Structure formats: C-alpha cells, structure tokens
Structure 1
C-alpha cells in the first residue's frame, strides 16, 4: 500500500509541477473572486473579504488577544449586514449594484452567511416549537421539519427560483440572490432544528428546576440557561451543517447564479481554456477545502472557549 501511495504521489507531483497548465487559474483569479462585479467598485468586495479574513484570524487568536474577545460576537453579527450593504450599495453613498453582477468566491461567502443567518434562528424556533406542549404548534413544526428533510435540496432551489415569482404581483420582483438565500435558509433550518433539539434533550431536568428555584420566568430560563447550553452541545453538528451549506451553494450554478462552480463552467467554455477540466476542479477542491478547514477551526476555537476545562485534539 505504501508503494502504491508513493507511486501515485510521485505521479501527482509530476503532473502538478510539470504538466498542468495553471494559466486557467492565474489569469482568471479576479473572475474567481469578484465575478462580473464592476471593476471600479471591486474595492468594496475586497474590503468585506479583508474584514471577514481579519475577523476569522482574530477569532482564532482570541485566547492570546484578550482585548478583542468581548467585541468579537458583535463584529460577527454585523458581518452579514455590512456585506450586503457593500455588495449592493445605495443610500446615496455607494453606487447600487444589481445582484446579477455578483459572482465568484464573494457570492459563495455572502450567500452562505446570509443563509446561515436565516437557518439558525429558524432552527431554534422550530426546535422549541417541536417540544411545545401546544399540539397545533408542535404539529406545524413537526410537519415542516419532516417535509423539508424529505424533499431534495435541488427541488427547493427550483421552487425558490422558478415558482415563487409566479405567486408574486407582476410589478414586484425578488432578486435571484434573495430567493436563493431564502431557499437555502428554509431548507437548512429544518436540519438545524433537529440538531438543536438533540442539544435540548441533553439538558437535564435539574436545570429547569434550578431556574424555577431562582425565580426565573420560562422566557428567562430559555434565554439565559437552556438555549445557550443547547447551542453549546449542538455546536459540532451545527458546524457540519454550515460546511454542508457552503458546499451546497455550488448547486446555484444550475440555476444561473455564477458562484465558484458557475465561474469555472464559464471559464471552461472559453476556447483558450477548453479541456482544462482537471486544473479547474483541483483548484476548486483546494479552495473549498481551505474555506471548510477555516470554518472547522473556528468551530473548534469557539468550542474550546465554551469548554475551557475540556481538552480535545
């Protein structure tokens, strides 16, 4: 087995450094990053990606940078609205840019964050509703979760992109980006709900009893004791959902949004780069692996801060 692995590794190294034509990546790096975003406005995307990268670095180094630990949650919260404003512009300050010009890595990242911002609160509400003593609320949440988990994601995306406009007034238009974010968020919310429900079930009844003894109301008990512990328990599963959400954004290439996979398909259609499939898809694999690894490291860092006495590798 070692001999076979060594032979394959030597062949791969030979191909990567001596046979592969990486011009298909180097000459299109701006296209991979910004899509067809206007050249004079690309600084807005660069600023947001730089902000996101710096925030991720601060989070990973936060045990050694104590003065940044308190504002980090607030900075993560404003990441999505800041990104949407920089991407779209408006308010008489930045030039408005329609979503049809968004693309590449920047679209993948903003779509993932927007979808996660919808899925997490929706999942918490559904998980609490499924454990509710009110049969109507319990049944609605149960049916929603079961239906969403039984329907393929691509069907939900097609519904969001093609069928939703049929139910809207003729003069009312919702951009493809908004429809995609809603479809991803509503779909992922059902899976997030089950992860959080597992976290809720792991909380012993003594926690509720202790909260009642302290005089906390049911709302305060959920807000201050139950939900934080459930999220902490469900964090590894939620990280898997976030990584899967990032990878599933590649399905939008089928529906016309030119994220990373859509950009790659358009580049491969260029006569100059026809046949460079292996270089393009290896580059995409490395890029997705890098982003997913950063997400996993961020999750481990948060888990370590929530469980400072628990050692893990």
Structure 2
C-alpha cells in the first residue's frame, strides 16, 4: 500500500512538471500564475484575519438568521432550521437502516407543516405575523414552498405541451414561452403590486404568499422545459410496450413517463432550485427582509455604515454554504436513483 501511494505521488508530480514546466514559456507563465494566486490568497487571508471588522456580523447573527422575529420566540424558527439541517445530515451520512431510508421522504415532507406551524403559531404558540419573518428563515421558506408548488405545476405544463390536444398544447406553450421571456423582477412586481388590485374588496393575500405565487409562476415554466426534455429522451418503444401490456394513459404517465423524466431532469431541477434560492434576494428590492434585505438594513444603521465588504462577504459565504448543501443532496439523490435503477 505504501509503495502504491508513493508511486502515485511520483506520477502526480511528474505530470505536473510535464504539464506546467515543459518549456521556458510554460515555466514562466506557471510561475507568474502561481505567484499571482499566492499574493491574492495572502492578501485576502490578511484582510479576513487582521483588517476586517466582523463585529457587524457577530452582533447581528440573530437578524441574519431570523430577521425581526420576536426575540423570545426565535427558538421556533431555530428548531425548524435545525430540523432541516439534521435531516440533511441523516440523508447524507446517516445509518443505512432500511426503515430510516424508507421514511426519509416522509421526514422531508413533514418539515413543511412543521415550519408553517412554528412560524405562524397558533395551537399553543403565540401567533406571529409574516411581516416579522426575515433573514435566512424567510429565504428558506420562499425557496421551499416555491419549489414545492412549482414542481407539480411544471410537470403538468410539460405533459400538456407534450400532449396531443391542440388547444391545451398551444396554451401551455404560450404560457411557458411568455414566462421565460419576462424578467423575474417583473413577475415579482406583478405579484407584490398588481395581484391585490385584482382581488375582491376585503380579500387580501399575505405578502409572503404573493411572493411564493410569483416565484411559482416563473419557475414552473423553466421546470416544464426541463421535464419536457426528460420526456422526449424516453424511447417510444417503452410506451408501445406499456400499451401492449394493457396500461392506460394515466398508468403510463404515472409509472413510466414521470419517474424517468424526473430522474433524467434531476440535474437541471437542482439548478433551478439553487437559482431560486439565489433569486429570493430580489425580494429585498420589494420590501421583504430576507437574507440580503437584512444585510441592507444593517448597513443602514449608522453604527455599521461603510462596512459593506464584511457584510457582503458574509452573505456570499452563507449563500455558498446553502447552495453547496443543496447540490450535495441532489447529487446524493441522483446516485441513489442510479444505483436503484441498476439493481432493478
């Protein structure tokens, strides 16, 4: 084992020398590049450790996490975020007990009503209005519920656009093309400012749910195209085989088309989810104090004026961490689906 490791190291360094230092020009360019990266890294490290003032982050961690949620009730969103993180860890590194793996989907789904109960309150908890929600809690809420509603709507749109009924096919095509041609910020403005104008007098939809509705309308169009690509990659022979077995159209869609289309489109769907999480930052422009909105409000505090770099570096790290967790979970799910498909 030691000899194999030593040989691998020797081969690795020999390959580096061959690729980077094969002639005078490559050697010069490699040394310049290495020196530049080293200087950037050292200057960044020096600023992070010695020059940056992280008090703006440390003294406002509760705002970044929970927004203006009442301080004596912040344990409620904290429990919800910890439950999401715990289920993520169990999904990735938990024991491979069969009963646990079978109930992971139920655990993930149960976090949705749990989050609503903890945030809204009632049934023994103090009711909290959504205007007090904010920070990472609100960002995760917008992402989770928008994704939950966008996926089934996107599947329906993809099936309609891929169907044989001319009118439904045309309507779904027009909807998808129109939504993909409109900037997201315009759809969000529509959700926040114009939807209340179309509602009857006395009926009002919460601003958070208007944002979720707008995100759902927008993202579902992109998900529909991802699913449609998955549907088109399924061989027609499978449908012919299903017809020969006597399956009806509903059974073909439920048992053959949708599972395979979702598996094929999973990388693209993951990209949509990550993009949705990042795009929730646009709500800071429209008055919802999500993660970026909290950063903007903190920078408006005279005590922290001018500390833009620290705040935005911190926000970038938070966004990177959450997006990385989402990508790893999706990759883990993709691997499990591939293994199960291979076993089948």
Q: Tell me the TM-score normalised to structure 2 length.
A: 0.88
- The reply on whether 1:14 has 2:71 as its aligned counterpart is no
- Are 1:270 and 2:296 counterparts? no
Counterpart in 2 of 1:120?
151
CA distance in 2, matches of 1:41, 1:136: 51
Q: Measure how far apart 1:63 and its partner are.
A: 6.9
- Which 4+ stretches in 1 moved above 4 angstroms? none
The alignment partner of 1:53 has SS state of helix
Q: Distance in 1 between matches of 2:245 and 2:128?
A: 53
Larger deviation, residues 169-178 vs 154-163: 169-178
Higher deviation after alignment, 45-54 or 194-203: 45-54
- Higher-Rg member (1/2): 2
Asked whether the equivalents of residues 58 and 68 of structure 1 are also in contact (C-alpha less than 8 Å), the reply is no
> Of the candidates 278, 282, 288, which is equivalent to residue 257 of structure 1?
288
Q: Residues of 2 paired with 1:168 and 1:149: CA distance?
A: 25
Matches within 5 A, 1:40-189: 40-62=72-94, 64-90=96-122, 92-189=123-220
Separation of aligned partners in 2, 1:209 and 1:89: 52
Q: What is the aligned partner in structure 2 of residue 26 from structure 1? A: 58
Give the secondary structure class of the aligned counterpart of 2:203. Answer: coil
CA shift, 1:172, in A, is: 1.1
Equivalent-residue separation in structure 2 for 1:309 and 1:53 (angstroms):
25
The more displaced of 248-257 and 74-83 is 74-83
Residues 181-231 of structure 1: CA deviation (Å, up to 9, x unaligned): 000011000000000000000100111122122222111111111100000
- 1:94 and 1:221 map into 2 onto residues whose CA distance is 46
Q: Secondary structure at the match of 1:115?
A: helix
Q: CA deviation at 1:65?
A: 4.2
The gaps in structure 1 that reach 5 residues or longer are none
Cα distance, 1:309 vs structure 2: 7.5
Change (3 A) 1:310 1:216: closer
Residue 193, structure 1, aligned to residue 229, structure 2: no
Which of 291-300 and 34-43 deviates more? Answer: 34-43
- 2:272 alignment counterpart: 241
Deviation at residue 83 of structure 1 after TM alignment: 1.0
Closer, same or farther: CA 65–10 of 1 in aligned 2, 3 Å: farther
Cα RMSD for the two superposed structures? 1.4
Deviations 1:259-305 (A, max 9, x none): 01100011001111111000000000110000000000000000000
Q: C-alpha separation between the residues in 2 aligned to 1:88 and 1:123?
A: 28
Deviations 1:112-143 (A, max 9, x none): 00000111001000000001111110011001
Name the CA distance, whole Å, in 1 between partners of 2:201 and 2:121: 25
